[in-house]
A and B are shown apart, each in its own frame.
Chain A
Amino acid sequence: MSVGAWEAFLLILQRELRLSFRRPDQLLQPLVFFLIVTTLFPLGLSVQLSLLRDMAPAVLWVAALLSSLLSLDSLFKSDADDGTLEQLALSGQGLTVIVAAKTVAHWLVTGLALVLVSPIVGTALGIPTTAFATMLLSLGLGTLTLSWLGSIGAGLTIGVRRGNVLLSLIVLPLAMPLLIFGAGATDRAIAGASAAGALYFLAALCVLTCTLAPFAAAAALRITLE
């Protein structure tokens, strides 16, 4: 029975989402981590709200990058450990489609969830509600780009013992432009200025990774699975 690429994409996406929702604790962990990290900053800064508001975009974005990175390790790991990934690779479907489906699923359960939680964190950090639209949009684009970048890193570090630290070491330098544009956009929105420029850059990076990263990640898997 042959299955078209799009159909395979949807099937794998469905499978990934079903697996995720069967382990709700694992779904919640990155979100709780996100909340905890953003709580650490006000505690460390004493209670000067003005200082906190200046730092809010940076805090929000660094926390989002870290918690998204935390969950990247599991992107291919469990499937590689029990052999599912090899079966998928042998299934005759392009590895690119498989990688894309898994990455989109990863973004839906971590990145998008993080975006949905961010208004709570934003309010706690003193970000005005007028900046929320920009914050949500930039976080959405940024976390999706990060998931794509992370899929390359996760593909490269599958066979490595204690690959988690190495994964951060590889992905974080690649993600630095995201932090710059994402926090920059939020910063400008808080100041009441137009954040369009930074958002366009984020969108451009997002398109770039959406189109190129699946191929790079598939190549990475081909190297590490061999």
Chain B
Amino acid sequence: MTVERIMWTWFYKLASPPYVYGVAAALMPWLFGIAALAIGYGVVAGLAIAPPDYQQGEAFRMIYVHVPSAILSVTIYTIMACASAVALIWRIKVGHAVAAASAPIGASFTLLTLVTGSLWGRPMWGTYWAWDPRLTSELILLFLYVGVMSLRSAFEDPARGDRAAALLSVVGVVNVPIVHFSVVWWNSLHQGATIVRLGAPKMPGSMLWPLLSMWLGFMLFYGAVLCIRLQGEVLNRERQSAWVREAIKS
């Protein structure tokens, strides 16, 4: 009984803007600190210590930025959709704040994935852009982010914009796997052209550990930026309430 009770109490507390504001403020320095350590180790070990790849040479080091940001672009979309669903179902306003704070970060990581991918593609495939399934579905993901963000800002009434954007994110998350598999299928229809694939190569530890560390670092970095943006969102949304005045005075 007690564990369940504690869980629910915590869940209800998370629905309260002042509590979330406090948690975000408290967590932020820690997340930044650990993220800096993880990314620091990843950068040094990945760029300087790890041996060059036997096929790709030094260019493979792009992986240390590209893969973590690609994972994050999808993870953040999922987090955004979950927060939106929570906000729609239980009418928890903080969920909208989390979704609104996450969308630009996720879109930035998606853009970063596309840019690093095309920079990596130039020496490896000889072209900046190939209509590879993964590249294409990443591009469509970027369009989905842009759609959600523009829908949110299109309404004069922010509450309505929030809920419309939340519904669109939930619809989008159903669509993401469909888009992904349809794009894979589409490529198999166009066989004959150069099939460029990023296979999952077996990696020695000296290459893998920096990558995992970078991934962890990027996740924590997202958490830290989310905390900052979430504080801003919560303050802006609750600007009429008394606790905001207190928080700003102190």
Do B154 and A166 touch across chains, with their CB atoms under 8 A apart?
yes
Most chain-B Cβ atoms within 10 A of its Cβ — which of A159, A177, A212, A226? A177
Residues of A with C-beta under 8 A to B140 = 173, 176
Q: Which residues of B are at the interface with A, using a C-beta cutoff of 8 A?
A: 88, 140, 143-144, 146-147, 150-151, 154-155, 160, 163-164, 167-168, 170-172, 174-175, 178-179, 182-183, 185-186, 189
| Interface residue stretch chosen among A42-50, A101-109, A120-128, A180-188 | A180-188
Do A174 and B189 touch across chains, with their CB atoms under 8 A apart?
no
Distance in Å: Cβ of A213 to nearest Cβ of chain B: 9
Residues of B with C-beta under 8 A to A156 = 151, 164, 167-168
**A-B pairs with beta carbons under 8 Å apart, 12 shown:** A159-B160, A160-B154, A166-B154, A172-B143, A177-B182, A181-B182, A184-B185, A198-B185, A216-B171, A219-B167, A223-B163, A223-B167
Identify whether the interface residues of B are mostly helix, strand, loop, or mixed.
helix
Query: Which of these, A173, A176, A184, A216, contacts B147 with CB under 8 Å?
Result: A173
Residues of B with C-beta under 8 A to A226 = 160
Q: Does A89 sit within 8 A of B, measured CB to CB?
A: no
Known contacts A160-B155, A180-B182; decide if A174 and B172 are in contact (CB<8 Å): yes
- With an 8 Å Cβ cutoff, the count of chain A residues facing the other chain is 30
**Alpha-carbon distance A80/B154, docked complex (angstroms):** 18
Distance in Å: Cβ of B248 to nearest Cβ of chain A: 31
**Alpha-carbon distance A181/B116, docked complex (angstroms):** 29
Residues of A with C-beta under 8 A to B183 = 176, 180
Residues of B with C-beta under 8 A to A201 = 182, 185
Do A169 and B160 touch across chains, with their CB atoms under 8 A apart?
no
Nearest CB in chain A to that of B175: its residue: A174
**Alpha-carbon distance A188/B168, docked complex (angstroms):** 33
Do A184 and B160 touch across chains, with their CB atoms under 8 A apart?
no
Do A166 and B144 touch across chains, with their CB atoms under 8 A apart?
no
Distance in Å: Cβ of A62 to nearest Cβ of chain B: 14
**Alpha-carbon distance A181/B183, docked complex (angstroms):** 9
Distance in Å: Cβ of B178 to nearest Cβ of chain A: 5
Q: Does A119 sit within 8 A of B, measured CB to CB?
A: no
Residues of B with C-beta under 8 A to A172 = 143
Known contacts A156-B167, A216-B171; decide if A170 and B151 are in contact (CB<8 Å): yes
**Alpha-carbon distance A191/B160, docked complex (angstroms):** 49
Q: Which residues of A are at the interface with B, using a C-beta cutoff of 8 A?
A: 152, 156-157, 159-161, 163, 166, 169-170, 172-174, 176-177, 180-181, 184, 187-188, 198, 201, 205, 212, 216, 219-220, 223-224, 226
Other than the given A174-B171, A223-B164, 6 more pairs (CB < 8 A) read: A157-B151, A166-B151, A173-B144, A173-B147, A174-B175, A212-B174
Residues of B with C-beta under 8 A to A159 = 155, 160
**Alpha-carbon distance A212/B143, docked complex (angstroms):** 22
**Alpha-carbon distance A76/B177, docked complex (angstroms):** 29
Do A177 and B178 touch across chains, with their CB atoms under 8 A apart?
yes
**Alpha-carbon distance A180/B172, docked complex (angstroms):** 17
Distance in Å: Cβ of A208 to nearest Cβ of chain B: 8
Do A224 and B185 touch across chains, with their CB atoms under 8 A apart?
no
**Alpha-carbon distance A198/B185, docked complex (angstroms):** 9
Query: Which of these, A157, A160, A184, A205, contacts B178 with CB under 8 Å?
Result: A205
Nearest CB in chain B to that of A226: its residue: B160
**Alpha-carbon distance A139/B186, docked complex (angstroms):** 17
**Alpha-carbon distance A109/B147, docked complex (angstroms):** 28
Residues of B with C-beta under 8 A to A188 = 189
